[in-house]
A and B are shown apart, each in its own frame.
Chain A
Amino acid sequence: MEKIFGVLLNGLSMGAIYALLALGFVLIFKSTGILNFAHGELAMIGAFVCYSLAMQYGLPYFIAFMLAIAFGALLGAVVEMVFFRRMVGEPIFSTIMITVGLASILTSVAGVVWGHDVYPLRGPFTDKTVLIGGAVIGQGAVYTLLISLVLFGAFALFFTRSLLGVSMKGTAEDPHTASLMGINVNRIHMVAWAIGGLVAAMAGIFLADQSFVRLSMSHTGIKAMSAAILGGMESIRGAVVGGLLVGIVEGLAANYLSGAVIGGFHFGDIKEVAAFAIMIVVLMIRPQGIFGSEKVERV
């Protein structure tokens, strides 16, 4: 009983990072309609910046953290201005491909600047643990979980109560009509990318806190994408639930399936594909994701 509780808690702590990444992902998709394949790369850059500031320049962790997420927001805004401003109304394939190209560019820049090594990022709560109901969980994980829940609440309020949030929703629905209604579509898109970049950088730093800073950490972005799809691409609530669900399923799979051998098939590293397997299952049952709303189409 205690073991499964521990497994669940650890799954939750990884899930919180997925949730955070998926949040930024959904935010960008919800307001600009762009499926951002470079989200993991934005997270990676954020973590690298935080590493440089805190470890190489010796800034206090909290200040480095703040500067890194501010940089993430700036990066998001710049990306929107440079790459996506001219793409409004272009086919969805082209915008997706641009995010893929952007991912390559960001990885390449990070490779040139920081190299291909693995770096530790030591924060104030690295290696510190708390005991919850007999199970040990990292302090960083608790903070990640709390922050993603707080952000979830903030975003939910933002999209229903604030003028900016409502205009973001309107812009996503139909950018042309929105601009006719007096909404500055360019500004809305930029803000969405800035917030997305900020949340991504935050998630990247938390992820680095649980493991290391390295180029390949951007792969987590793809898994977060499956978390977002799982919850329903347009649902903030879905992103959080999807992220946590993916984390828990991964934890369970890693603990109970890894190492099993059936007919010459080894279930090692099953963690890596658990997210995708559960995504396929959910999509077969509910094609619009758990919290997504079904679109009614007119011919």
Chain B
Amino acid sequence: MGGKFHTTYEQDMAILQSLWVKVWLGILVFLLMLCPYILTRYQLSILNEMAIAVIGALGLNLLVGYTGQISLGHGAFLAIGAYTTALCADNLGLPFVVTLPLSGFMAALLGMIVGVPSLRLKGLYLALGTLAFGFIVEYVLFHWDIAQGDMGLSVKPISVLGVSITKEQHFFYVAVGFAFLATLCAKNIVRSKIGRSFIAIRDRDIAAEAMGIPLAKYKIMAFAISSFYAGIAGALTAHYQKWIVPGSFDLSLSIAYIAMIILGGLGTILGAVLGAILITGIPHGIVLVTDILKESYPKLSGLIVDLKLGIFGLIVVLALSFEPQGLAGIYRRAKTYWKTWPFRY
């Protein structure tokens, strides 16, 4: 069978493993560059949402997919990033180049604090612990005066060196740029010593410790990196939405992120990206379909809220029942199928 065989260590470690990967990536970048000129504002806004979701999902995948620590509080870290940006830009007048990393570090700091119990908690207990953390963060934001609770905070548009980014087209380049940067960083983390330690901890933490991997250091590092990603995604969300309320960072957001990485495929970079695109795209797809059907079934628009939720659930359930490995699993299977076609194996 036509497998890929590496003869040197450098080849095995390369980010872009073959010529074709480079070609496809080039085509993708070219198409993305064209997008702002062809697509409408609404279509671009969907892509912007997807790009931000990719960043958050990559972070969560590093924690859940690679290190094996379940977190149901990812939305809370996005909230911390978003509010750090909003408060720092508003009260302290800091520029975007400072607030963005600051939101990341703030989220990472809290992530490290949440990571400490993970040294004692495992599996479902950790999942529920992070879930509780998410609820508490939402509660604090609702009830603390500086976050203005229900009223929410307004966020200024991104401005770098006097150029402010207000248009959807311009934000597109920022968001996609950061998404690419995030993917590159994640790829590099995964293929380095840190990533290998993460994977060892996921597969068997006791064995990993016996082999000389300091569990505490790497588990907390995984939480910090994952929260950093979430903080960046949160900050971008804040700048993009221009208005943030605690309610938009609730449990359903954390669940959407978990859905992204599980549907995409745990423990693969490609999976996180595909999952983020799919889960962000589903609601828009449903709106599109109901818009088409509205003429023939006028009753439908009243049910859209329920339908959105139900179809989301249905897609999650069906996808997982037929392919528990997620989209990345389907991709892998399709690839081997075509590679060996017309033979089965």
CB-CB under 8 A from A83, the residues of chain B are 317, 321
Chain B residues whose C-beta falls within 8 Å of the C-beta of A109 in the assembled complex: 306, 310
* B139 cross-chain contacts in A, Cβ below 8 A: 269, 272-273
> Within 8 Å of chain A (Cβ to Cβ): is B238?
no
Give B331 Cβ to nearest chain A Cβ, in Å.
17
Residues of A within 8 A of B (CB): 35, 83, 86-87, 90-94, 96-98, 100-105, 107-109, 111-112, 222, 225-226, 229, 233, 264-269, 272-273, 276-277, 279-280, 283-284, 287-289, 297, 299
Taking the closest CB of chain A, its distance from the CB of B65, in whole angstroms, is 9
Asked if residues B143 and A97 are in contact (CB atoms below 8 Å), the reply is: no
Given A98, A107, A265, which contacts B320 in the complex, CB threshold below 8 Å? Answer: A98
27 A-B contact pairs sorted by A residue (CB < 8 Å): A35-B124, A83-B317, A86-B321, A91-B324, A94-B262, A97-B316, A100-B255, A100-B259, A101-B312, A101-B315, A105-B313, A107-B306, A108-B306, A109-B306, A111-B305, A112-B306, A112-B307, A222-B251, A233-B125, A264-B146, A266-B143, A276-B135, A277-B132, A279-B129, A280-B136, A284-B120, A299-B207
Collect the chain B residues with CB atoms within 8 Å of residue A222's CB: 131, 251
B binding-site residues for A, Cβ under 8 Å: 64, 70, 117, 120-125, 127-129, 131-133, 135-136, 139-140, 142-146, 204, 206-207, 210, 251, 255, 258-259, 262-263, 266, 303, 305-317, 320-321, 324
Chain B residue at minimal CB-CB distance from A279: B132
Q: Is the CB of B307 within 8 A of A108?
A: yes
Q: Find out whether the CB atom of B120 lies under 8 angstroms from the CB atom of A102.
A: no
Specify which chain B residues have a CB less than 8 angstroms from the CB of A284 in the assembled complex: 117, 120
Nearest CB of B to A260, in Å? 11
Q: How far is the CA of A104 from the CA of B321 in the complex (A)?
A: 16
**Given known A83-B317, A108-B310, contact A226–B206 (CB-CB < 8 A):** no
**Bound-state Cα–Cα, A177 to B123, Å:** 23
Q: Hey, which chain B residues are within 8 Å of A97, CB to CB?
A: 258-259, 262-263, 316, 320
Q: Are B206 and A101 in contact (CB-based, < 8 A)?
A: no
Of B128, B143, B305, which is within 8 A of A225 by CB? B128
In Å, the complex CA distance between A266 and B145 comes to 8
Given A92-B123, A233-B125, A284-B117, 7 additional A-B pairs, CB 8 A: A87-B321, A97-B259, A101-B320, A105-B313, A264-B145, A276-B136, A280-B129
Min Cβ gap A101→B in Å is: 4
Known: A105-B310, A105-B317. A276 touches B132 (CB 8 A): yes
- B contact residues around A266 at 8 Å (CB): 143-145
Contacts of B144 in A (CB 8 A): 264-266
Q: From A287, which residue of chain B is reached at the shortest CB distance? A: B120
Residue from the list B122, B259, B309 in contact with A111, Cβ < 8 A:
B309
The reply to whether B307 and A226 form a contact with Cβ atoms under 8 Å apart is: no
Selected from B132, B306, B309, B311, the residue in CB contact (under 8 A) with A280 is: B132
CB A152 to nearest CB in B, in angstroms, measures 22
Give bound CA distance, A98 to B262, whole Å. 10
Q: How far is the CB of B215 from chain A (nearest CB, A)?
A: 13
List, in ascending order, chain A residues with CB within 8 A of B320's CB.
87, 94, 97-98, 101
| B117 nearest CB across to chain A (Å) | 6
